[in-house]
Amino acid sequence: LESNTVRAAADEPIWGYQCVKERCERVLVHDAEGRARAVQALSVCKLTCGTSANLWPRPRHLHTSKTLDWVNYSSINVETRGDDGSDYRNHRGGSLLQQASELFREQQMRKATIKDGTPLVKTGGKTLEVTVSLRDPGRHQLTLNTDEGYELFVKIMSDGRINTTIIADNFFGARHALETLNQLIVLDDLEKQLRLPREVTIRDSPAFPYRGVLLDTSRNFVSVDAIKRTLDAMAASKLNTFHWHITDSHSFPFVSQSFPKFHLYGAYTPAEVYTPTEVVDVVAYGRVRGVRVLPELDAPAHVGEGWQWVGDNATVCVKAEPWQKYCVEPPCGQLNPTVDKVYDLLGGLYHDMLSLFKPDMFHMGGDEVNFNCWNNTDSIVEWMVKKNLSGRQEDDFRMVWDHFQKRAYEKLVEANHGHELPVVIWTSGLTAPGKVDRYLDPKKYIIQIWTKGDDPLIKELAEKKYRLIFSNYEALYFDCGFGAWVGEGNNWCSPYIGWQKVYDNDLKKLLRNLGVEPDQTSVLGAEATLWTEQADSHSVDGRLWPRAAAMAERLWSDPVTGWQAAEYRMVSHRERLVKLGVQADSLQPQWCHQNEGYCYLSHNIQGEH
C-alpha cells in the first residue's frame, strides 16, 4: 500500500514547469478547474527556456530550436571516419575519439536507466547518428597551441534519423563537442524520453588556452578514484589541465622508478602511493577527457619527507623548530642547492615523471624559499662565501636560488632528451619586483600568479612578456575559509570564496585595473587550487565543485555579464556533476532550482538561461 501511494505520485505528476519570461516556473499540472495545463519536465524547460540551452560553459555562438526530438538511447552511432573514408581508429587521436564516443554512449545509457539497468524511458525514439570530421585526426596531445574549437550541427534527416555533425581541428575540439551534445540530450521525466533539440548550430572555442585545477596530494593523500572524479567533472566543464602537485614537505607519494626509496620513506603509509601504473592510468583517463595531466615537482623549498634516505646534507631545515623561523607551515624542509647529488636525484625524478606523464609542459614549483633556513646552514653559507655572495642579503640568497633553478632546469631538459619544454614556476622570490628578468627567461618560463589579483607585480610580468596563469588567491584558493589547523580561529586566507566571486574573477578586468591592455599580454588562463592541509579523498569533490566550474565558464566563454546571469545554469550544472558521481557542494535549496527567480537578494539582479 505504502509503495503504491508513492508510486502514484510518480505516475500522476502534480507539478510541471512553464517557461515564463525566460524563467522556469513550477505550476500545477491541473488548474483550479481541473483542466490540464501545457507543462514541461524541468529538464526540458531548462533546455528550451532562454537562449543558452542550459549549457555550461556557455558556447560562444549557439542556436538551438525549441522543438525537441526523441532520441533512442540504444541506437546511437558515432562515425569517426573522415570525408576521405579514412578510419580514425588508425590514428592515435582517432583511438581517443573511439574512447570518447564510447563514453558519450555510456552517458546517454546512464541518463536513460537507473543503476540496475531498468529503463526510465519508453522504448522507441529516433536513431542518433554522429559524424565527426577532423582536420588533424592524428593529434593526440594537447599543447598550449592546440585548437580546441568545434562546430556542432544537429538536423533531422528525411528518413527520420537525427544527424549530428561535429567539425573540429582535432580530437580535443571534437571531445568538447561531444560534451556539449551530451548536455543537450536530457531525460524528460514526463514524456519518459531522452530528448534533443531538433536543430542545433553551435560554433564554439575557448577564450583562454589554459584552464586548470591544481590538486595537492602531499599534505593529504587523495585516492586515484577521487582524482578520476575530479577529471570527470573537469571534462564536463571543459577544463583542460589537471595540475598535480604530487609532492611537498609533508609526504612523497609518487613512486619513482629511478629512486624507489623516495616513496618508501616519504609515503604516509605503504598504501598511500601513486604507482607508475596508476600515474599512466590517470594520464590516459585525463587525455580521453580532454585534460592534460601536468606534473609539479616543487623545489627547492616544499621538500622534506621522502628525502631522509639521501644523506649528504641534501636537505636542510627538515622538521626544523620553531618552524615559524624556517618556513610558512610545519614541517619545514628545503633542498641544499650546493650539493651535487640533489641535482642527480632531481634529474632522475624528472626522468621518471616525463616518461610517465609524457607532458607537453612541466611545473617546477619554486615558491616560498626561506632564506633564513639557508642562512642558518653552515655549508650553504660557506659555499656562498666561496662564490663571493657573502653579503648574506636577500639578493645574495636569490643568486643561490638562481643557481639552483638553472641547474635544475638543465636537468629537466636533459631528462627530456635535450628538448626544452614550457616550464611553469610560481610567483615568489625569483619573481621579485624589478628583478624577475634577471633570473627567468620569459621565453622559457610561464609564471603562475598566486598573489592577489591587484598585485602590481602582475603589470610588470605582463609588460615583460611573461606568459601568465592566474591563481590569484582571493578568488581561486579553494582551501580558504575553514578552521585554522595550527592554532584556532579561521585559516589564513579566509573567508570562504563563493562561486560568485570565482565566476567574476575576470582576468581582463584585473589587467585593465592594473593599467594593462589585455590584448597586449600573454595570459594563458587561470587555475583553481586545492591545497589539501584540510581536505583529502573525502572532501576533494565538495571543495572543488561546483566552484571550479564557475571558473571554467569564465575561462571558456569570458562573458561580459557577471554571476547573476549564470546562476540558474550554474545550479543546473551542479546537478549534472552530482549525476556524474561527483559529490559537488549544494549552492542553494533545491527549491530555488525549481522556482527560478525567487531566490534573489535585490530585484535588479536576476538570472537568465
Min. distance of Cβ 486 from its own copies in angstroms?
Answer: 4
d(CA 64, CA 496): 37
| Residue 275 in the binding site for its own copies (CB under 8 A) | yes
Q: Give residues with Cβ within 8 angstroms of 537, minimum separation 6.
A: 221, 222, 223, 225, 226
User: Which stretch in 4-12, 73-81, 290-298, 443-451 sits in contact with its own copies by CB under 8 A?
Assistant: 4-12
CB of 478 to its own copies, least distance (A): 11
Rounded to the nearest 5°, which phi and psi values hold at 486? -115, 125
Give the span between the Cα atoms of 554 and 479, in whole angstroms.
20
Q: Which residues ranging from 280 to 319 are in contact with its own copies (CB under 8 A)?
A: 305, 308, 319
Given 250, 289, 398, 569, the residue binding its own copies (CB under 8 A) = 250
Positive or negative: CA dihedral 484, 490, 492, 496: positive
Binding to its own copies in span 497-526, by CB under 8 A: 497-501
Catalytic status, residue 302: yes
Q: How far apart are CA 410 and CA 582, in angstroms?
A: 40
Rounded to whole angstroms, the Cα distance separating 83 from 131 reads 10
Based on the shown chain and the rule CB under 8 A, indicate whether residue 252 belongs to the binding site for its own copies.
Answer: no
Would you give the binding string for its own copies spanning residues 401-440, x where CB under 8 A is met?
A: ----------------------------------------
CB closer to its own copies, 331 vs 442: 331
Which of positions 183-222 make contact with its own copies (CB under 8 A)? 219-221
Nearest Cα to 253, choosing from 269, 239, 242, 241? 269
Helix H, strand E, coil C: the string for 117-167 is CCECCCCCCEEEEEEEEECCCCCCCCCCCCCCCEEEEEEECCCCCEEEEEE
Residues between 536 and 595 with contacts to its own copies, criterion CB under 8 A:
536, 538-539, 541-542, 563, 578, 583-592, 594-595
The contacts of residue 607 (CB under 8 Å, 6+ apart) are 23, 564, 565, 566, 567, 568, 569, 596, 597
302, 351, 573, 609: the catalytic one is 302
Is 368 an annotated catalytic residue?
Answer: yes
d(CA 147, CA 292): 14
Stretch that binds its own copies, among 190-198, 247-255, 446-454, 463-471 (CB under 8 A): 247-255
| Per annotation, catalytic residue among 69, 188, 248, 541 | 248
| Contact status: 129 vs its own copies (CB under 8 A) | no
Picking from 223, 226, 275, the residue whose alpha carbon sits closest to that of residue 254 is 275
Residue with smaller CB distance to its own copies, 127 or 500? 500
Nearer to its own copies, 405 or 539 (CB): 539
Q: Residue 443 interacts with its own copies (CB under 8 A)?
A: no
Task: Kindly identify the residues of this chain, within the stretch 327-346, that bind its own copies according to CB under 8 A.
Answer: 330-331
The nearer residue to its own copies, 36 or 484, going by C-beta atoms, is 484
Let me know how many helices (H) and strands (E) the chain has, helices first. Answer: 20, 20
CA 291 – CA 234 distance, rounded (Å): 8
533 touching its own copies, by CB under 8 A: yes
Q: Annotated catalytic sites, by residue? A: 248, 302, 368
